[in-house]
Amino acid sequence: MITDSKLCDRNLFTKMHTMFLYLFFKVHPSVSQSLAENKPVVALESTIVTHGMPYPHNLSTATEVEAIVRAEGATPATVAVIDGEIRVGLSADELNYLAQSKSLLKVSRRDLPYVVSKGLSGGTTVSATMIAAHRAGISVFVTGGIGGVHRDGQNSLDISADLTELSRTPIAVVSAGVKSILDIGRTLEFLETQGVCVATYGPSEDFPAFFTPHSGFTSAYNVHNPSEAAKLIASALLLGLQNGVLIAVPIPEEHAAAGQQIEEAIQAAATEASLKGITGKDVTPFILQKVSDLTQGKSLQSNIALIRNNAKVGSQIACALSKQVR
Ligand code: PSU
Ligand code: MN
């Protein structure tokens, strides 16, 4: 536990920092071993488990995603906070606990000091996962969708911390873009301002809209295969820019069939969220649940399909990267 007296001794700060990391930041042996051997590692977030999907789909998806990463030849490192410890790489029991417990927090960058100081547990969002994964030495992180600028965000300033994290933490985030509930145009503008290199994976220049492959906005760049993506990431790392890179992987067409129906459900859910006065960190989980209800679970199936696809592509990129950077 952190005691008041320890915190007061400022001269010990540097020593404390090292000690603190040792005590409150735990990398799973399978992950540290892979990193030490320069083998590919793929970080995974856990808000998707604690707040993004209902049980038992959250558990089966998280387990399956880890299996996909392994099948592609990389080591999965799911990040979470458990009893105040930041974990990079989880056991099956820990994943099970995260999937079933009802009292877990949604942990972004700003929440880390609080959950650690109180010894609490929670799922890490893209921003908190980026921090932990980068600190562990991981260069590729796979998720479903990232947060963005909310509609009317220019007035409410509801802009996901994921976007500012991409401007300050050098790790590649592989995602299916951002949901059309967000202001995708402003999200891309914000990322440009923050110096984040955004590339769509595949032949299309369209920036994907999570449930659908096309958002009507274009990415700055394209990468066509794992090797090209890995070169882009390696260049960002070698330049030492300290920015993240966003690789946007469109949902495969066959799983986007329900796209239009999902689109309408998203609009309905957004309206309901605003009528109910739901704000801040509760907006995204509320909309995900509502959209799943309105589409009789079709959005959940699309969500699972796109995450599996991202895990495959992200792992292939991590494998290509580990061959390029030695
Ligand atoms: N988008 C999804 N599913 C999710 C999230 C986003 O389709 O589970 C989660 C991610 O963890 C992301 C976070 O980092 O929501 C963004 O939350 P906010 O918009 O409050 O920043
Ligand atoms: Mn927000």
Pocket of ligand 1 contains residue 147 by CB under 6 Å:
yes
User: Does the pLDDT at position 8 exceed 60?
Assistant: no
Q: CB neighbours (10 Å) of residue 238?
A: 9
**Do the Cβ atoms of 210 and 176 come closer than 8 Å?**
yes
Residues with CB under 5 A from ligand 2 (ion): 158
pLDDT at 21: 72
Pocket of ligand 1 contains residue 47 by CB under 6 Å:
yes
Known catalytic membership, residue 179: yes
Dist. CA 280 → ligand 1 center (Å): 11
Longest distance between any two alpha carbons in the chain, whole Å: 60
Region of poorest pLDDT, from 22-31, 157-166, 254-263, 276-285: 254-263
- Count Cβ atoms within 10 A of the Cβ of residue 260 and give its class: 0-12 exposed, 13-18 middle, 19 or more buried: exposed
Q: Which amino acid makes up residue 65?
A: V
What rounded mean pLDDT belongs to the chain? 93
User: Does the pLDDT at position 6 exceed 60?
Assistant: no
In whole angstroms, what is the distance from residue 201 CA to residue 156 CA? 32
Of 46, 36, 224, nearest to 138 by C-alpha is 36
For the chain, the residue count is: 326
pLDDT at 215: 92
pLDDT in tens, 225-249: 999 999 999 999 999 999 999 999 9
Residue 185, token pair as written in the block = 């145009």
pLDDT class of 127 with cuts at 50, 70, 90:
very high
Of 109, 139, 101, nearest to 126 by C-alpha is 109
Pocket test for ligand 1, best of 44, 46, 47, 49 (most atoms within 8 A of CB): 47
Pocket of ligand 1 contains residue 76 by CB under 6 Å:
no
User: Does the pLDDT at position 4 exceed 90?
Assistant: no
pLDDT in tens, 9-18: 666 667 777 7
pLDDT class of 219 with cuts at 50, 70, 90:
very high
Pocket of ligand 1 contains residue 144 by CB under 6 Å:
yes
User: Which numbered atom of ligand 1 lies nearest the CA of 47?
Assistant: 11
Known catalytic membership, residue 45: yes
User: Does the pLDDT at position 325 exceed 90?
Assistant: no
- DSSP assignment of 247-275 equals EE-PPPGGG-TTHHHHHHHHHHHHHHHHH
User: Cα 187 vs. chain centroid, distance in angstroms?
Assistant: 16
Q: Is 232 helix (H, G, I), strand (E, B) or coil?
A: helix
pLDDT in tens, 34-53: 999 999 999 999 999 999 99
Q: CB neighbours (10 Å) of residue 3?
A: 7
Q: Is 284 helix (H, G, I), strand (E, B) or coil?
A: helix
Dist. CA 22 → ligand 2 center (Å): 31
Dist. CA 148 → ligand 1 center (Å): 9
In whole angstroms, what is the distance from residue 283 CA to residue 195 CA? 26
pLDDT class of 164 with cuts at 50, 70, 90:
very high
Cross-strand bridge partners of residue 156 = none
User: Does the pLDDT at position 146 exceed 70?
Assistant: yes
In whole angstroms, what is the distance from residue 310 CA to residue 48 CA? 14
Q: Is 34 helix (H, G, I), strand (E, B) or coil?
A: helix
pLDDT at 23: 74
pLDDT at 33: 98
User: Does the pLDDT at position 5 exceed 70?
Assistant: no
